[in-house]
Amino acid sequence: MSAKKNQTIQTPLAKAKGLGSAHEGVHHWLMHKVTTLMNIPLVAWLLYTVFHLKEANYTEFTTYMAQPFHSIAAILFVMVTLYHMALELQVVYEDYISCRILRMFKVWGMKIFFFVLGVATIFTILSLGFTVTG
Q: What is the DSSP string of 70-87?
A: HHHHHHHHHHHHHHHHHH
Is 12's pLDDT higher than 70?
A: no
What pLDDT, on a 0 to 100 scale, did the predictor assign at position 126? Answer: 93
What pLDDT, on a 0 to 100 scale, did the predictor assign at position 48? Answer: 96
Fold entry, domain 25-131: 3 helical TM bundles of succinate and fumarate reductases (1.20.1300)
pTM of the model: 0.77
Q: Is 21 helix (H, G, I), strand (E, B) or coil?
A: coil
Cβ atoms within 10 Å of 117's Cβ, excluding its own: 13
| Contacts (Cβ under 8 Å, ≥6 apart) of 31 | 83, 87
pLDDT band at 28 (very low <50, low <70, confident <90, very high): confident
Average pLDDT (102-120) is: 96
Average pLDDT (57-69) is: 92
